[in-house]
Chain A
């Protein structure tokens, strides 16, 4: 029995490896995606294009503008003399933020009154606007504090960012990419494999051999798992060696979890495949399934922000659990108990998906 399964696995892997284009597609896209997405997928806000609309000629306003310009968060790219000019620039996206200081800004400060300042933000990108507000508030706050060097503020909030003290976006995105890229690969390979045999007529050839349905399933599942794991490890290596991510957890534990995870991905792929008559249908199925799986996992946006129904749906998504594990093991040495609490839903998903695929393979015989 082992020999039969092994034969199937060797055949599948050889089939993937033999074709130059397929080989290319397995190895190169993950690396390209790591390179591009690790740099692209950042909610960081730097170099926000700032327009200055300063109606005040005093020294204080000049100092505040200087502080904005000096901050890495803002690049002053324009200055305006009229509201119309500021509005046009915002409309046309030439600037994302306009700092407006009214005529009497310096005078108010010198007189001990509260000076008014206005920040006009292009909130088409709400997240960036929110973060720009935060940076502006910090700059203005320290400016105000420095106006009265002797006076203590009533409250100081000391913030410590655990696990990612410099708030690096790549630290967040790369563990996610480990999960997402290996998912896409294991889904595709397994979804296309059964459909391909069916379309090319080799499936019947397999069915008349002594291979049992369960053996066919195992033989079809393992190559997807192997390639998925290879992909995950390519990203893992890139993260550690190129992007210098810390790895604080147990590497062996991560690999074990990745195995479970790719198993559930392959299970879903095979289940899709068992319903597809052609490779094309299988591919469409992968498209339709993969996108929600990635979105609902919390890869791009936190699950807490989702509506209740979406949150419920995400519970059937293995990526959700693997993401918590990967991020936890990379950055915070998540204890094994916490990891295992995330692991059992993946086992459940894999079991259900493989059972569905198994029933479908069996049904092919009648």
Chain B
């Protein structure tokens, strides 16, 4: 057998045995993704439901009561009566309700006669969370429209000459936030596991002095790195596959793309993440600094700047430019497309190119740093 092959075989066998015997590798590759997927998948939901709304009806009459029922019928709202504005406001300050709808004394009177239109209702919203506030406003408005349509069936013509706007929500007809967040979480999980696998485990090789005897052996640096990356790569791919299956099984996500683009994206991304981990572990000798670096370069950007949760197009322009330096961005775009839309090559290919650049940079940086390590 060729000497290089023999050496690689030895190194790969060593890595596999170490992985199998060291619980922390399995922990990082399999337990951490499950925990993160479950916690984040269930924890980060933008699907508002049963938002608590206080309703103050100052002149309770048939019309107003009907409206109350209409609001209550909405799955997104949970309506509770408040006796007075004062009570409602107090509940809002306490955080017991998200908002308060006030129907004034003359509401039903004005609503029932077209001559006295418009009837005025006041909606007060606790806007400390602006996103939820907007969604609440949308749902209350929607529920009122439904009520209006029901109550004024005979006057439906009044809206004639208007515009009926129809929505077609493609790729995610039910507008479930999990459908776009979970692929994002997979990207975040892969960033963390990939980086941690090498950052923490390779650091140990330096600490225990085994790297020194490897470097003095006939094995080449490139062989050492290849064997290491190769094994953790396989582990990472397995972890990735597990995450995708879990996402489908647990959150009922569709998967509309092919296996090949998924594998390609995962592979490139893993090479990047593993390389980054190697790089960090080589550079930072202080573990406190290393941990902060890992946190700073992996989890936070993957969560905030990848487009997983927050829309990149809504960010200021300079920050949009920054996101191009976050490889998770490319992975998120690919994953969201593969899960929800299918093999849209116009999305997949440019983002794969982005991932490839990131992978090359990470491995290149690692090789550059590692060669000089003992000096």
Contacts and interface: CB of A to CB of B under 8 A. Distances in A.
Contacts of A134: 134, 137-138
Contacts of B341: 91, 124
Contacts of B155: 154
Contacts of A136: 165
Interface string A301-337: 1101111011000100000000010011001101100
B370 interface: no
A280 B204 contact: yes
B24 A109 contact: no
Interface in B116-154: 117-135, 137-138, 140-141, 144, 148, 152
Interface in B293-330: 293, 295-296, 299-300, 303-305, 309-311, 313-316, 319, 322
A204 interface: no
A302 B161 CA distance: 40
A284 interface: yes
A33 B161 contact: no
Contacts of B163: 64, 109, 114-117, 140, 143-144
A298 to B, nearest CB: 9
A127 B131 contact: yes
B346 A88 contact: yes
Contacts of B296: 29, 32-33
Nearest to B120: A156
Interface residues of A, number: 113
Interface stretch (B222-230, B261-269, B283-291): B283-291
A93 B338 CA distance: 13
Contacts of B47: 126, 305
A305 B181 CA distance: 14
A85 B169 CA distance: 17
Interface string B33-56: 001100110111111111110000
A42 B314 CA distance: 7
Interface string A131-170: 1011011001001100110011111111111111101110
A361 interface: no
Contacts of B372: none
24 contacts: A21-B289, A22-B288, A22-B289, A36-B319, A37-B304, A40-B315, A45-B314, A96-B313, A113-B160, A117-B164, A119-B166, A123-B173, A123-B179, A154-B117, A158-B120, A158-B122, A159-B122, A167-B133, A171-B128, A192-B291, A280-B203, A287-B32, A292-B36, A304-B50
